[in-house]
Amino acid sequence: MARSKLRAREPWVQAALGFALGAVAGCALGATEDPVDRTIAVMTSEDFLKPVMDEARTVGPLGLGTLLGATALTASMSSVVAGVILAAATASVVLSKGSCSVTNAESVGLWVWSGVVGAAGATLSGATLGMAIEYIVTNVGMVGLLIALSVFTVLKPPLHFLFNVIWQQREVCCGLGTAALARERDERERELKEAEQRERVTVKVEQRTQAIEKGVRARERERMASKEEELLQSEKMERERIEREETEMEHRTIQDWIDSVVVKYVDFIAFSGLPMTLIAIVTSVFGMNGYGAHQSVLIVLLCLVVVLSYSMMKVSRFKLWMLAGCMGMLATFVVAMLTLHAEQEVLLANSRLRAVGKNLSRESLTPTMNQKASLEALNTSFFVAKLCQLALGAAVGGPLLRWGAGEAKIIVGAAGLAGTLIAVVEVITPVLGQGGRAGALLGSVGAAGVSVGAAAAMAGAWSSWAGTSGTIFGLMLGALIIGKWHIVNIGLQLPVAYVFAMTNPY
């Protein structure tokens, strides 16, 4: 639907519209760079870094990297899925109240309410998880974070079952309500038809009486007029019936799509974190037993990632949560490797000093090693979480545009939501704290991801290279200018957003 609209425009119009909408999406992405950078700077300051450094020796560099990476990714995924489910539930409620018709099934009200509720839900859930993580790390330590992550992962499958039961009950209730409304509407239509029939009979009797008085010719004219009137009434009733059936079909189509989205994302939130949590548990246990930086742990970690990824990829019915689980494992593995590398850099620098006669003991190097490892783990985990949030947002925006929700509605609306969320988070930061601020900012990144994903999907939907090039150029230019020319960060984020925007998880 959206593709046909995009193809109908002239090339120069495609280029101009693509550039404008691409620039809007790019500005939304660029606007997240500075707040995220300032949040990372605060989180890696001495006060916030000290609890992580104190626990780095407990779980080791690999355990620290996998634990922080898995926690950040789990929080990011959970907040996005919470937003998507809330948006889907809101759209379902709007549809059940019959506020959309066949001419405005993609009405502003439906998408605005769904988008606002979804973005607010993702932001609030991210802020809640961020504050919980900050509290656990500061007051309990990494072992407490590991226990909390494990308990959260174990509780998600039962909650998944409970949510499915509740959603099915909602469908039954909505179905009963729809049936009652249909019966009421049919009753009203039947009464109207009976009243119209009585009126027509009365008119016919009067007309026939007059025709008898006026003669045969008048009766013939009246008969023809009566037939024309009946034909017009029949055509009117048929048009109303067709419009009503089309409206109901449109509602059913949207509701079926919403149900499909909810089922897939509930599976996603329930099972995608299992592989990441398993890796964090294994490496943390090795670290607590004194093998945090041992080569054998690296081999076990690599084998575990390969075996789990191969097992899920080999399944005949590959699902969205399996893809997310594989990517989450790989991201967690990367965070662990970078954390271990940061610690090894300190040892490498010491070996260079030893070559010139300046030898430092392992004990004197430990604080520096822990600091480097903690800095790298926090920085990389937050960046990976942001990348995950952006990708999942793009996985929503791209299919929405291809489904026919309207390119301007999605791109401009999601970009506006992202900017609003950033402004609100800046205002309520004293209430949220730094952990809550970090989680809430990820919600704004998800909203920006919806806009970027829709722009990326629109770039592929144009019928001319002018439209595609204009969209891509506007997207890149807006992101770089507003993002203060963070070429590396934005250069990594845009391809990831494009790949996820081109997927169809529904």
Query: How would you write the pLDDT of the chain (506 residues) with one tens digit per residue?
Result: 445 555 556 777 878 888 898 899 999 998 888 888 888 888 887 777 887 887 777 787 888 888 888 888 888 888 888 888 888 888 777 776 654 444 444 455 677 778 888 888 888 888 888 888 888 888 888 888 888 888 988 888 888 888 878 777 765 555 544 555 555 556 666 666 666 666 666 666 666 666 565 555 555 666 666 666 767 776 777 777 777 767 677 777 777 777 777 888 888 888 888 888 888 888 888 888 777 666 777 788 888 888 888 887 777 666 777 777 888 888 888 888 888 888 777 777 767 766 666 666 556 677 777 788 888 888 888 889 898 889 888 888 888 887 766 677 888 888 888 888 888 888 888 888 888 888 888 888 888 888 998 888 888 877 778 888 888 898 899 888 888 888 888 888 888 888 888 877 65
* C-beta separation of 487 from 480 below 8 A: yes
57 is a domain residue: yes
Helix, strand, coil tally for the chain in percent (to 5): 90, 0, 10
Residue 101 inside a domain? The answer is: yes
- Residue 314 in any domain: the answer is no
- Give helix 273-288 / helix 295-314 axis angle, nearest 10°: 160
Gap between the Cα atoms of 225 and 220, Å rounded: 9
For residue 94, give its domain range: 9-174+271-309+320-352+360-501
Specify the pTM.
Answer: 0.79
Calculate the dihedral angle through the C-alpha atoms of 174, 178, 183, 187, rounding to the nearest 10 degrees: 130
The pair phi, psi for residue 405, each rounded to 5°, is -80, -10
Tokens read off for 343: 């610690």
Amino acid at 460: G
**pLDDT for 361:** 59
Spatial separation of the C-alpha atoms in residues 140 and 43, rounded to whole Å: 17
What count of other Cβ atoms lies within 10 Å of the Cβ of residue 171? 14
Residue-level pLDDT at 113: 79
Distance CA 342, CA 61 (A): 9
Task: Tell me if 413 sits within 8 A of 435, measured CB to CB.
Answer: no
Residue showing tokens 């957003």:
497
* Dihedral of alpha carbons 310, 311, 313, 315, sign: positive
Name every residue whose Cβ is closer than 8 Å to that of residue 379 and which is 6 or more positions away in sequence. Answer: 40, 44
Rounded CA gap, 482 and 23, in Å?
Answer: 10
Residue of 334, 319, 331, 332 whose CA lies nearest to 503: 319
From CA 197, how far away is CA 336, in angstroms rounded?
79
Q: Tokens representing 128?
A: 């809640």
Is 98 within 8 Å of 301 (Cβ atoms)? no
* Phi, psi angles (nearest 5°) of residue 202: -60, -45
Q: Which residues, at least 6 apart from 228, have a Cβ–Cβ distance to it below 8 Å? A: none
User: Does residue 187 sit within a domain?
Assistant: no
Tokens of 393: 């947002």
**Contact by Cβ (8 Å): 478, 369:** no
Domain total for the chain? 1
In a domain, 281, yes or no: yes
* 112 within domain boundaries: yes
Q: Using DSSP, how many helices (H) and how many strands (E) does the chain show?
A: 15, 0
Number of alpha carbons in the 13 Å side-chain half-sphere of residue 420: 12
Q: Contact, 170 vs 92, CB < 8 A? A: yes
Which helix (H) or strand (E) segment holds residue 258: the answer is: helix 216-271
- 103 three-state secondary structure: coil
Contact 284, 301 (CB under 8 A): no
The residue assigned the tokens 């999605």 is 410
If DSSP codes are grouped into helix, strand and coil, which group holds residue 133? helix
pLDDT at site 102: 40
pLDDT value at residue 105: 42
CB atoms within 10 A of CB 97: 11
Measure the CA–CA gap between 288 and 298, rounded to whole angstroms.
Answer: 15
